Amino acid sequence: MTYAEDIHWLPAWRLRELVVSRKVSAEEITGRLLERIGRLDKGINAFLTLAGEGAMAEARATDQAIAEGQTPGPLAGVPVTIKDQFFTKGLRTTGGSKIFENHIPLEDSVHVARIRAAGGVILGKTHTPEFGMYWRTVGLISDECRNPWERQRTAGGSSGGAAAALTMGFGPLALGSDSGGSIRLPSAQCGIFGMLPSSGRVPQHGGFGSRMFLSSIGPMARDVRDAAMLLQVLAVPMPQDPFCRTDTPPDYLSGLESGIEGVSVAWWDNTVAESFSSPEVLRVVRSAAEKIGAFGAKFDRQPLRLDTDGIDEAWRVLDFVDCRASLGEELERDPIRFAQLTPYAKTRFEWAAGISGTEYSRAILRRARFVRSVNEAFGDHDLLLAPTIGITAPVIETDNMTKRIPALVSYTLPVNFAGCCAASVPCGFVDGLPVGLQIIGRPNDEALVLRAARQFELAFPWQDLHPPEHLEVA
C-alpha cells in the first residue's frame, strides 16, 4: 500500500477514496491509528477513552459492506474522534468529570449517530475539561492535555483533546463543541482548522452541559474539505430540538472551490482584545488577513468596530445559568457528587445559582442588542476577519489562569454571543507556535466561511506542518 507509512497524515476525503476503491481497508487504517495513539499519546493525553476493538469492528463492517457492493456513506471508513461531552452508546462518556468516570451511555448523541450512519469509524473519546467549562483541557480523571508543539504549553480548551489529536496525526476528523471559543481557541493554539457553525445549525441532543443560546457543535480537521464533509453530515434539521434551524443546509462541498471574488471583507478592530494581545501575533494575523485581496475579495481598509461593552458579563450569565439548568442543579441535590466536581465547575454552578431572573432577562436583552449591531455591520460586509486569539498557547500554570481569560476569549466570545458562524484557520507561527486567523460570517453563511477558509488554505498550506519529530516520542 503506497501510503502505508504516512497514512496518519492523509485527509479524510483521501482515506475515503482509498477505502471505497478497496486500495486500503478501513480496518488497516483504524489499526494503524490505534497503534500510533497507543505509542505517542502518553505525553499528550489527547484521549480519555479509546474505542479499541469496537472501532476495529466498525471498520471491518465497512469493508464488508463495500465488498458486498453496498453504497458507501459520505464518511465511509473515515476515523472520527468524539469530544467526551457527547454520548457514545456502549463506550465510556465522562464529560471530563470524576462523577461520570464510569458512565456508559445507552444511546448515541445525534451527532455520533449521524457519523456512524455516514460510515464513520468512532476512534475514541477526546479529552475535555469538566463539562467543557474551562479554557485548559484539565480535570480530575486524567493528566492535562498538552500542546504537541511545546509540551509545557496548553492545548487550549475545551476541545483541546480534539485539537491535539489532529495535530499529532491521531485521525483526520474530530467532533468538537464551542460556546465561547472552545473549538476555535484550541484550533488556533494547535495549528489546525476548526469551525463554529451558526447557532442552531447543528442540533444539540445527547451530551453533557448543553447551552440554549451560545453553544454549537462543529467539525475540526487538518483540511477544510474534510471539515465541510463532516459539517454536511451534522447540519441536518432535527424537529425534536426547538433551537435547531429548520431549513435544509446547502451543499457545502459543491461550492468549496468557487472562490470569494467580489466578497466584501472588513477587519474587526477590537481595541479591548488588542490590549491583552501580543503585538507580534497581531502583526502576523493582520498580514495574513490583508492578503485576502489577492483572492479577488474587496478588503475594506477602514477597520470595523463593534460595541462589545458588557457582553462578557451577559455571556457569563447565559452560559453559566444554562449549563447549571441542564446539569448543575441536579448535581447540587447530591452533596456527595457535588463535592467531586473540579473547583472551576463548582465555582461556576455556585455563581450561577445566585443569578436572578432579572439579571438573566437583562443578559438576553443585551444579546438581542448586540445581534442587531452585528447584523448592521454585516449590512456592508460579507465577512469579518480577526485573530482567533491574540496570544500563542500559554505555558501551563499552577493557578487557574483567570487573569488570562480576557486575552483568551475576547475575539471568540462575541461571535457566539451574536449567533454567527466562524472558523479558525492557521496563518503562521510566532516563536515556533501556530497562530490562527478567524473568519466570521453571517448566521447560516457557513458555505461562504468555508470557501474563504479554502482560499487561505491554498495560500498558507498547513497540512504538511507538523510538530518536530523529536516530540513524537512517548
* Catalytic residue IDs: 83, 158, 182
Q: State whether residue 199 is helix, strand or coil.
A: coil
For residues 98 and 345, what is the distance between their CA atoms, to the nearest angstrom? 12
For residues 287 and 462, what is the distance between their CA atoms, to the nearest angstrom? 17
For residues 349 and 90, what is the distance between their CA atoms, to the nearest angstrom? 29
For residue 68, give the DSSP letter.
Answer: T
Q: Is 133 exposed, middle or buried (0-12, 13-18, 19+ CB in 10 A)?
A: buried
Could you tell me the three cell numbers for 226?
Answer: 474534510
| Residue 387 near residue 437, CB atoms below 8 Å | yes
Maximum CA extent, the chain: 64
Q: Which helix (H) or strand (E) holds 37?
A: helix 26-40
Backbone φ and ψ for 331, nearest 5 degrees, come out as -65, -35
In DSSP terms, which residues pair with 440 in a beta bridge? Answer: 384, 422
Size of the chain, expressed as the number of residues it contains:
474
- Beta pairing class for 264-268 and 150-154: unpaired
Q: How many CB atoms lie within 10 A of CB 68?
A: 7
For residues 34 and 270, what is the distance between their CA atoms, to the nearest angstrom? 43
Nearest to 216 by CA among 248, 191, 190, 180: 180
Cα separations in angstroms, 199 against 175, 180, 379: 16, 12, 19
For residues 15 and 18, what is the distance between their CA atoms, to the nearest angstrom? 5
CA-derived radius of gyration, the chain: 21
Cα separations in angstroms, 266 against 292, 298, 385: 10, 8, 6
For residues 385 and 293, what is the distance between their CA atoms, to the nearest angstrom? 12
Cα separations in angstroms, 331 against 20, 94, 97, 156, 445: 46, 15, 12, 26, 38
Q: State whether residue 125 is helix, strand or coil.
A: strand
